[in-house]
Amino acid sequence: MSVAPLWAFVDELDDSLLQTRQMEDIWLIKFYAPWCRICKELDPTWHLIGSELKSVGSPVNVGKCDAVANTGLAKEFNVRTYPAIFMWKNDEKYLYSGPRTADAIVEFAHRVSGPLIRPLTSVQLFQHALNRHDVMFVYIGASSQLKGEYLSVAREMIVSTFFFSAGRDVVPKAVSLPALPAVVVFKDGDCFGYNEASDGSLKAWIKRERFRNYGKVDDHTLYAMGDSGKLILLALLDEVNASQQNLRFRYKSLVWKVSQDYKEVYSRNILFGFMEDSEYISGLIMGELRLPAIIMLNLSTDSYFMPPASLETERHLLDFVDQVLDGSIQAHGGNGLPQRVRRFIYDTKVLFLLLLSEAPVLACLLVAIPFGVLLLVCFVCLKAWSDYGGQDDDDDNRPVFSRRQTADKKSD
């Protein structure tokens, strides 16, 4: 029996989908542009995703759409960048903004295509979910107003987080629970519940707590962390330079140790982690950092803090963290008007260089067209000025009696 090629599980879509799609259909769609290099690099992964979802009997249909040629479908999804990945379920459109890996996108498809809140009906099922998820939110108890709020948050945040429900009888006996009903988060080998009086809204609390206290961070995760409202302390590592191996290890170990030993002190205000290079941080600081380095980020204001001196010990790092928290270290960056203008110029330059490498003809046209328009405007202005100046000279060179005759005729 012949095996279907991977591309056979991905449909090429066009604007007709707007008329032919049935309400019960669930689509995972990649919007691309023909000139986009990243879109082309994603193709093998996309075909693998289509094959994997089909092999497990998922109800999700996988497709791709040329957004340049099919503007109707692209407009329906408000596509602005390429590639753009969406799940279309019922009347809802869910934008995927995570890592562009097969595992991450398949998990997104499973998460969004399933129920908003997944019931855990046995101790074994509860333990399986707990082993599989680094961070797990669970509603425990009967129906209540709190469950309605939980459902509302799940509807909005299902793109990034699983939501579960369970009865008290399936939760391990060793778990100490607050008064029921309750929303509890399990993470970092611990669990604690939501308290409206101290934690504010349920949505804000879930946004703060949906990340592990410490872990490896990529650009997509870092961007999402901005919604937590917490500061982010990172060890930035350079895996290329072998001569800095000892310093990399020290910075990574220092951040990890502080995150573990002082969890009760800092976890409410700070997330910890490490990164191996970062385009996102380069864009934030509008330059390149000398790696390895330690940096504290405040993504709610697009600002960052750098240690004033070398961090040799845990005490040095603790002093740096405390100085950031008490405001005694000056923040760099920010989202004021001058910084926004600088960041716009920087982002435009980076985008142009990227476009120049991927589509040099298009990049040249983008420069040539406005430059040509500017030259045309200058030419028209100079021509008009020249004609006006020439007419004045002709008037001045006319005989005196001729000008007098003209004036006499005007007076008559």
CATH number of 118-209: 3.40.30.10
Q: Quick one: average pLDDT of 71-93? A: 93
State yes or no: pLDDT of 86 exceeds 90: yes
State pLDDT tens for residues 164-189. Answer: 999 989 988 878 887 899 999 999 98
| More confident call, 190 vs 392 | 190
pLDDT at 345 over 50: yes
Residue 139 confidence class, pLDDT cut points 50, 70, 90: very high
Of 3.40.30.10, 3.40.50.300, 3.50.50.60, 3.10.105.10, the CATH number of 6-113 is 3.40.30.10
The kind and range of the H/E element at 377 are helix 360-397
Report the relative pairing of strands 163-166 and 118-120 from DSSP bridges. Answer: parallel
Q: What is the mean pLDDT of residues 201-217?
A: 94
Identical topology for domains 118-209 and 214-339: yes
Task: Map out the domains of the chain as residue ranges.
Answer: 6-113, 118-209, 214-339, 360-411
Whether 399 shows a pLDDT value over 70: the answer reads no
Percent of the chain with pLDDT over 90: 57
* Catalytic (active site) residue 65: no
Tell which residue, 164, 195, 200, 165, has the closest CA to residue 179: 195
**Is 381 tagged catalytic?**
no
Residue 140's pLDDT band, with cuts at 50, 70 and 90, is very high
Peptide bond before residue 292 is cis, with ω within 30 degrees of 0:
yes
Residue with tokens 């917490």: 230
404 contact partners, CB below 8 Å, separation of at least 6:
none
Domain 214-339: top CATH class: alpha beta
Mean pLDDT of the 268-291 span? 84
pLDDT of 358: 62
Q: Which of 36, 191, 364, 378 is catalytic?
A: 36
